[in-house]
Amino acid sequence: MHYGARFKKYRGLLFALKALLAPLIFLCLAGKLGAADNVVSGVDENGVVHVRVWNLPTNPGTQANHVANWRVLKAFERENPTIKLHPATGISLPGLGIVMDVGPLMAISGGIAPDILYVNFRKSASYIDDEFLYPLDEYLEDYRRREGEKEFEFRIQKPLWPVIRRKGPVGNHREEHTWMMPEFPLVMTMSYRKDLFTKCGLDPNRPPRTWDELYEVCVKLTSNEKNTFGIFLGTGGAASWYFMNFLSSTGTKVVSEDANGVWHATFATPGAAQALRFHKKLIAGKRPDGSGRGFYTDKYQLIGEGRVGIQFVYLDGNDFAGLDTSGTQWGYAPVPMGPTGKFSAEINAKMWGIYRGQKDARVRAAAWKWLEFSGSRMARKIFADTLIEYNEVKSVHPAILENLGPDYQKYLVFMNQDLKDLYAIATEHATPEPYGKNCDLVYDYLDKPVQEAMGLEREGKFAGMSERQELDVLEGILKKSQDLAEVELIQNLPPEVQASRARVAFAVCVLIFSAFAFVFVRIYRVFTPEHERGRGWGFRKYRFAYLILVPAVGSIALWQYYPLMRGSLMAFQNYKIAVPVVEWVGLDNFAAVIYDRSFWTSILLSLYYTLLLVLLTWLPPVILAIMISELPKGTIFYRVVYYLPAVISGAVIIFLWKSFYDPSPMGLFNQLLAGIEDGVNRLRASVGMGPVDLSPQYWYEDKNLAMLCIVVPLGWATLGPGSLIYIAALKGIPDDLYEAADIDGASYFSKVIHIVIPKLRALLIISLVGHVIHGFNAADNVLVMTGGGPKDATLVTGLLIFKKAFVYTKYGVATAMAWIMSVMLIGFTIYQLKILSRLEFKSTGKA
Amino acid sequence: MPLLTTVGRKSPRARLLVAAFYVLLTLGGLTMVYPFLIMISGAMKGVYNGKQMDICPRYLYDDMELYRAYCESRYANTTNYNNTSDRPSPDFDSLDPRPLQPRLAEEFRAFLREQPPAPEERLLGHFTMARGNGRHDLGFISYLSDTYGGDVARMNRELGTQFNNWSINLVQESVFFARITSIESNLLRKFFEYRAAQATEDFYEPTADAWFRGSMIFSRYGDDTALLREKLGITATHTGLISLDAPETGNAEYRSLREIFMRRFLNARFIRLELTPEVRRVWRDFLRANFKGSLQALRDVYPAATDFDSLEAPASLPREKRQAVLYASFIEKECPFAALRVEDIQTRFRDRLIAKHGSLEGINRSLGLAARDLSELMIPRGTLDWEYTQAHKGSLRWYLTTRNFEYVFSYIFAHGRAAWVTLTFCTLSILCSLVVNPLAAYALSRFALPSTYKVLLFLMTTMAFPGAVTQIPSFLLLKDLGLLNTFWALVLPGLANGYSIFILKGFFDSLPKELYESASLDGASEFRLFWTLTMNLSKPILALISLNAFTAAYGAFMYALLICQDESMWTIMVYLYQLQGISSQNIIYASLIIAAIPTFVIFVTCQKVILRGIVVPSEK
């Protein structure tokens, strides 16, 4: 007996060991199998330096500019046999903004930052402030010495210096450094599709030169029948980027630096109102033929299909080789003049920086070598030679040909005349894209008035207004947004305001943490029955039980408690992902959140979202379950039919619906709507009534419909799967209850009220609370459907936190937001736990 | 159980109610099914017919629509189509091959058999690397994959490329239009190898005439025949008859367009020089000016040259790269225009017709045509394509129906790791969900631990915090532990779940205690108690847990994307998500359907078990 007991104990332990080890071994194996064979930068055993470069070409391609870039790369490899470059790309999340902005940031957040980063003007300030970039001064000095002043000046064009060389943090202070290496400047231009012009009866050799002409042209180009559009413009998050073209034609600067070197938002000018008026007319103006609104499209693939007349593109030596510069299909012209009679073209440049998170100096040096080589005289020569060979010398930047000497200057005669004129105008009038502090966010703030004007126009709010009145309204809208930008972005607050904010933040923090303490005590009370209190642990006696609890407890401790602790610290830091410096900022993050209007708006939006979610997903499954349970035949059939949406997983449902919501008249819902309108009108006509107007809707682009558009698919998708648990629960209600009710003469409805609802009460409440908590945490669905737009009308808190953290790398602020939000939810959670503690769980065991 | 009792069910009111339920459920069911029908039919369409909202694609019953859908697949876009067709059209909706020219088509097929075109004269149809769902897009990729044993790294090594996966971009059109004489891209060389093995019918030959019409005429003046006749003084009776081969037609404007096109745009490969004494003289002057009279510089390019005067002018494009550039710029700048002759497959076809039938009258008579000039004889592309569709109706319909699906399958295959990653991830998720939570729940339920409630509290308190609070730090924790881009990152953070443990514990509590007692008395080990007894009795609920774990893992894409940004760790769902950005709606539909199959099959086969496994909470 004694022996047997010991054996039993031993067996128990053995089992426990097996149970613990098996999954661990499996995981180890899987981890090994899954270890990605990705390239890590560094120096290998053969002394070859591996460098990861953002968007490096992967193959020669067949187009001239691709071949040229490939040859440059190969030439570099020949010259530097000990350096191996690897292409690195990032992920793209539609709705999160422009890929080239977000991609590198996501890559940095995700721990796969390339060694050579792509930087653009608007993002440059945050890249410098977040310490992503390694100072290039020494490299550049060396380069200047070796190549001489003349080459150096050509390589880095003068207007670009203020952008690449400025003050930035190094350690704990700010120093002036050169942070980026620019490519040859890009110039914004308008390209137009000559064949489409001809098709629509326009002169293909006369591009629009003024806004009025541009409007006329767009009207003529846009046709539902032919599925053609006047102009390509972004909506969503990119609207303001396209709007910039018109804005800069009025001489308005989005931000400007004052005498003290402080940046101000300055986009609320009368000129800007003109530009806004014109822009909204293009996007949402009524078509003269009454076929809807707007003369634009935001579908990029339509450009390739030749269905878009006009687009704005950057011209540079690299990019437009991809465009057709033969002059047959695409024509080029300056961005049309605004009412001020001024041509204006935005000047920009791709810039490259070395990632400061790369600690190996050899890798950095190798990275620099590539930066140096890729724009060197030799590289430029290879590029020009290739394009000459491919009969596309027209696509080389004239300044580059000029610089390469007499052998190349003779090719200047091949330049497209349009382009030559363009360069001349561009260099004269160019204004650089904003590059100051928080300029990436300025686009967000500029987006709001653009979207608002668009929305108003779509709703026909401008009908009957005089031009003056319209401009006043628009200037007001711009002013509002500019003030907001001033307060929230620039944030140069007087000390007394800062002090009062800190006090409020302190109070809020005290509130938050006492709320959590209170909650903890409450939950403890709720959960621990009276008689259980004060008993010990009994580790010795129950060591087996504790042993098999280890995985669960350990995992929760590591993945829930540790992040919680760490998160609470992060909320008080300015967390920088690229450098290990911990910068304590006290309550600044909380103060920033509390005084962030967009945060409170997002809370309201979350409430609205939750309300819709509860309405559409809480009770409908119950009703469905009751109906299905009632059927004498076909239960399984209906069960499968209603379960269908569950076979497409989460976000994909949103994609599907998003395509149904397509705001153009070609979209499924708009076609259905047109069909219904047609039917109704025929019916009304047959009884002698006038027609009704169900004009095409903009669905998720309409700020009033957008939220509903996000929630409806969820209602659709969860109806069937959600009803399963109620079907099972209904089976658990004994028949005699209904029989008794029958004897009492109860109606069907009163049986539902008096028998079904009370029996399902616990389930219903848990599900309600679950939906509320779930609704508040929502981010994915919103991100996929609208990305928070239009005009931030769907920027719920969950998504705001996500964007702050992963797109703007403001981890501290994001965590502070999450804490404040969780305080608001805490009541629900206690309630949920309280109910749970009173329940017992059984499966009905019946199908 | 139904609310209506067996007796109550018989009353007319109850019957009415049930009937009303049927109607409501059927209507509701339609809204569930309709999007799927849209998806399925959309997945069977291309771009041009994608906007037709018919549930049944028209090409399945309409021959003309079949012809149009075939043309879209074959030419990918109207530019390609117009560069080869004798029936130019602005879009695929209105393509019409009539009037047919069957005998001319027969002649052309015979011509192709006798004089097969050079590789760079023809393009492979159904190859649209940009859109990706053409038959040969897939064919080429699997050819590459077969050649290199499915090893991308090996392909990169041997071709000198740096592809991350099998999604490979290649634009073949530039091969035709650019003046390159040698192919330096190994990938392109491979593509030509692949092409060499394809059937003649899959190729099409762009013609200089068609290219001229498309790029110089239609783009400037539109495609209205009457308008063109008026503006350009041409006599063509329809736009497909405008030809470079008729030097005398048209007014000055037209002739200048023709000259600009031939000198500047037409690939010099398609121009032959008539070597008159004048051309020879101009050529010598051109060379002298170009090399500034330096014989050495000349020898550098023409090693055989002895002096400027003896170097013979080339009659067609030389193979050597620098010589070719000179030839092209000679045509562009200096060569007398009268000496330029277009020579492409269409002119050779005309030559053959003349050789065979003697004269234009002979051709008209024996082929039943009414051409007024030799230059009006075009390759009857419309008829050829129409006859092809008529002969292959069945297989074409099948191909058009399935090609999007096939594309998605091969896309998944092209990212071969994705299937493996997904499978591993799903399996791991299921295994973990079946081990960690049930073990903990068992410990809490089976042993009357004095600390049960403390442990439960510990496990469940974190529910009070929304995911957003822990999301960022746990992401950073993964980063610090170096677990990003591994399966650990996908599985570990969700390993244990307090709520599941709680529910499982509740369920285990409800199992009869007597069973455990008697089993213990029979000497059953703790393992047997857990495995044979508890887990066995809980099969349905465990099945449900596994299903949920599976769907969660299978459908996860956003979190998976964040923590595994490295492409080699992307799951199928992440790839399908990326596919959204690069493909047409129709391919997206196909991808959704394919992605839905596993989940659907599992639900339909397991729905009884699932329903039994649902745990219903009730008040104590």
3-state secondary structure A369-435: HHHHHHCCHHHHHHHHHHHHHCCCHHHCCHHHHHHCCHHHHHHHHHCCHHHHHHHHHHHHHCEECCC
* Window from A269-283, B393-407, B602-616 with minimum mean pLDDT: B602-616
pLDDT in the model for residue A10: 45
Report the 10 Å Cβ neighbour count for A361: 9
Give long-range contacts, CB 8 A cutoff, 24+ apart: B70-75.
Answer: B70/B385, B70/B388, B70/B389, B70/B396, B70/B400, B71/B95, B71/B385, B72/B46, B72/B47, B72/B48, B73/B46, B73/B125, B73/B126, B73/B134, B73/B135, B73/B399, B73/B400, B73/B403, B74/B125, B74/B126, B74/B204, B74/B385, B75/B125, B75/B204
Alpha carbon distances (Å) from B164 to A57, A87, A540, B191, B566: 11, 9, 55, 19, 11
Question: Cβ separation of B442 and A23 shorter than 8 Å?
Answer: no
Q: Is the pLDDT of residue A812 over 70?
A: yes
Q: How confident is the model at residue B261 (pLDDT cuts 50, 70, 90)?
A: confident
Segment A764-788 shows an average pLDDT of 84
Q: For residue A456, what are its two tokens?
A: 């108003």
Segment A497-512 shows an average pLDDT of 84
pLDDT in the model for residue A489: 65
Rounded to the nearest angstrom, the minimum Cα separation between B271 and chain A is 15
Question: Cβ separation of B607 and A731 shorter than 8 Å?
Answer: no
Ordered alpha helix ranges (H), B44-172? 63-75, 78-82, 102-114, 135-147, 152-159
Strand, coil or helix: A104: helix
- For residues B475 and A563, the model is more confident at A563
Q: Which helix (H) or strand (E) holds A122?
A: helix A121-129
Instruction: Among A70, A555, A603, pick the best mutation site for testing chain B contact (most B Cβ within 10 A).
Output: A555
Question: Cβ separation of A110 and B2 shorter than 8 Å?
Answer: no
Instruction: Identify all chain B residues contacting A762, using CB atoms and an 8 Å cutoff.
Output: 617-619
Instruction: Identify all chain A residues contacting B27, using CB atoms and an 8 Å cutoff.
Output: none
Give the pairing of strands B271-273 and A330-333.
unpaired
Dihedral-angle region of residue A294 (phi above 0 means left; psi in -120 to 50 means alpha; beta otherwise): left
Q: Is the pLDDT of residue A99 over 60?
A: no
Question: Cβ separation of B484 and A112 shorter than 8 Å?
Answer: yes
Token pair 């007349």 is found at A309
Question: Cβ separation of A631 and B468 shorter than 8 Å?
Answer: no
Instruction: Identify all chain A residues contacting B592, using CB atoms and an 8 Å cutoff.
Output: 648, 652, 655-656
Give the C-alpha separation, A56 to A38, whole Å.
Answer: 15
Give the C-alpha separation, A19 to B212, whole Å.
Answer: 75
User: pLDDT per residue over A396-450, tens digit each?
Assistant: 777 888 888 877 776 666 666 666 677 767 666 667 777 776 676 777 778 888 8
* Window from A465-469, A561-565, B1-5, B90-94 with minimum mean pLDDT: B1-5
Instruction: Identify all chain A residues contacting B484, using CB atoms and an 8 Å cutoff.
Output: 110-112
Q: Is the pLDDT of residue A532 over 70?
A: no
Give the C-alpha separation, A24 to A42, whole Å.
Answer: 31
Tell me whether residue A145 is exposed, middle or buried, using C-beta atoms within 10 angstroms of its C-beta: 0 to 12, 13 to 18, 19 or more: exposed
What end-to-end distance do the CA atoms of chain A give, in Å?
46
Of chain B residues 47-66, which have a CB less than 8 A from chain A?
47, 51, 53
Give the C-alpha separation, A192 to A202, whole Å.
Answer: 12
Contact B538, B508 (CB under 8 A): yes
A331, β-bridge pairs:
A192
Give the C-alpha separation, A292 to A315, whole Å.
Answer: 33
* Window from A411-425, B362-376, B451-465 with minimum mean pLDDT: A411-425
Q: How confident is the model at residue B178 (pLDDT cuts 50, 70, 90)?
A: low
Segment B458-469 shows an average pLDDT of 74
Please tell me which residue of chain A has the smallest CA distance to B584: A301
Contact A118, A107 (CB under 8 A): no
Using CB atoms, pick whichever of A30, A659, A818 lies closest to residue B466.
A818
pLDDT in the model for residue A1: 36
Using CB atoms, pick whichever of A87, A389, A629 lies closest to residue B325.
A389
Q: For residue A762, what are its two tokens?
A: 């616990």
Of chain B residues 293-332, which have a CB less than 8 A from chain A?
321, 325, 328
Q: Is the pLDDT of residue A35 over 50?
A: no
pLDDT in the model for residue A739: 87
Q: Which helix (H) or strand (E) holds A592?
A: helix A588-594
Q: Is the pLDDT of residue B61 over 70?
A: yes
Segment B69-96 shows an average pLDDT of 87
Using CB atoms, pick whichever of A195, A538, A805 lies closest to residue B218.
A195
Q: For residue A721, what are its two tokens?
A: 């799967």
Contact A33, A62 (CB under 8 A): no
Question: Cβ separation of A542 and B449 shorter than 8 Å?
Answer: yes
Contact A35, A337 (CB under 8 A): no
Segment A655-665 shows an average pLDDT of 82
Token pair 């998160």 is found at A567
State the amino acid at position B227 in one-letter form.
L
Q: How confident is the model at residue A261 (pLDDT cuts 50, 70, 90)?
A: low
Contact B198, A74 (CB under 8 A): no
Dihedral-angle region of residue A761 (phi above 0 means left; psi in -120 to 50 means alpha; beta otherwise): alpha
Alpha carbon distances (Å) from B76 to A811, B124, B320, B586: 46, 11, 33, 14
Rounded to the nearest angstrom, the minimum Cα separation between A649 and chain B is 5
pLDDT in the model for residue B130: 56
Question: Cβ separation of A31 and B32 shorter than 8 Å?
Answer: no
Q: How confident is the model at residue B80 (pLDDT cuts 50, 70, 90)?
A: confident
User: pLDDT per residue over B144-172, tens digit each?
Assistant: 888 998 888 898 888 888 787 777 777 77
Give the C-alpha separation, A78 to A85, whole Å.
Answer: 12
Cα Rg, chain B, nearest whole Å: 35
Alpha carbon distances (Å) from B194 to A723, B142, B146: 54, 10, 11
Q: Is the pLDDT of residue A21 over 80?
A: no
Residues in chain A: 847
Question: Cβ separation of B436 and A551 shorter than 8 Å?
Answer: yes
User: pLDDT per residue over A210-252, tens digit each?
Assistant: 898 999 999 988 887 777 889 988 776 677 878 888 888 887 8
Please tell me which residue of chain B has the smallest CA distance to A37: B568
Segment A328-354 shows an average pLDDT of 79
C-alpha triplet B258, B327, B282: angle, nearest 5°: 85
Give the C-alpha separation, A739 to A726, whole Å.
Answer: 20
Rounded to the nearest angstrom, the minimum Cα separation between B392 and chain A is 28
Instruction: Identify all chain A residues contacting B219, using CB atoms and an 8 Å cutoff.
Output: 194-195, 198, 204, 328-329
Instruction: Identify all chain A residues contacting B184, using CB atoms and an 8 Å cutoff.
Output: 60, 67
Report the 10 Å Cβ neighbour count for A192: 26
CB neighbours of A789 closer than 8 A, spacing ≥ 6? A95, A235, A236, A237, A447, A451, A701, A706, A795
Contact A510, A823 (CB under 8 A): no
Ordered alpha helix ranges (H), B358-380? 360-367
Question: Which regions of A251-318 does DSSP assign to beta strands (E)?
Answer: 255-257, 263-265, 296-297, 308-315
User: pLDDT per residue over B516-563, tens digit each?
Assistant: 888 888 888 887 888 888 888 888 888 888 888 888 888 877 677 777
Nearest in space to B185 (alpha carbons), one of B165, B205, B197, B170: B170
Instruction: Identify all chain A residues contacting B454, using CB atoms and an 8 Å cutoff.
Output: 528
Q: Is the pLDDT of residue B385 over 90?
A: yes
Question: Cβ separation of A61 and B474 shorter than 8 Å?
Answer: no
Contact A841, B617 (CB under 8 A): yes
Please tell me which residue of chain A has the smallest CA distance to B417: A34
Contact A787, A236 (CB under 8 A): yes
Q: Is the pLDDT of residue A604 over 70?
A: yes
- For residues A314 and A118, the model is more confident at A118
Give the C-alpha separation, A315 to A334, whole Å.
Answer: 11
Alpha carbon distances (Å) from A374 to A74, A141, A318, A367, A547: 11, 17, 12, 11, 60
Of chain B residues 184-223, which have a CB less than 8 A from chain A?
184-185, 187-188, 215-216, 218-223
pLDDT in the model for residue A161: 85
Segment B9-15 shows an average pLDDT of 84
Average pLDDT of chain B?
A: 85
CB neighbours of A394 closer than 8 A, spacing ≥ 6? A325, A326, A414, A415, A416, A419
pLDDT in the model for residue A292: 77
pLDDT in the model for residue A13: 42
Q: Which helix (H) or strand (E) holds A176?
A: strand A173-178
Please tell me which residue of chain A has the smallest CA distance to B602: A647
Question: Model-level pTM?
Answer: 0.77
Please tell me which residue of chain A has the smallest CA distance to B51: A666
- For residues B363 and A535, the model is more confident at B363
Of chain B residues 502-561, which have a CB less than 8 A from chain A?
502-503, 506-507, 509-510, 525-527, 530, 540-541, 551, 554-555, 557-558, 561
What ipTM was assigned to the predicted interfaces of this complex? 0.78
* Window from A598-607, B373-382, B599-608 with minimum mean pLDDT: B599-608
Burial B432-466 (b: 16+ CB within 10 A, else e): bbbbbbbbbbbbbbbbebebbbbbbbbbbbbbbbb
Q: Is the pLDDT of residue A535 over 70?
A: no
Give the C-alpha separation, B336 to B286, whole Å.
Answer: 12
Rounded to the nearest angstrom, the minimum Cα separation between A596 and chain B is 18
Alpha carbon distances (Å) from A561 to A772, A778, B461: 23, 22, 10
Question: Cβ separation of B431 and A651 shorter than 8 Å?
Answer: no
Give the C-alpha separation, A280 to B521, whole Å.
Answer: 82
- For residues A459 and A103, the model is more confident at A459
- Is B398 touching A (CB cutoff 8 A)? no
Fold classification of A40-463 (topology level):
D-Maltodextrin-Binding Protein; domain 2 (3.40.190)
Q: Is the pLDDT of residue B386 over 90?
A: yes
Token pair 């992503």 is found at A132
- Is B77 touching A (CB cutoff 8 A)? yes
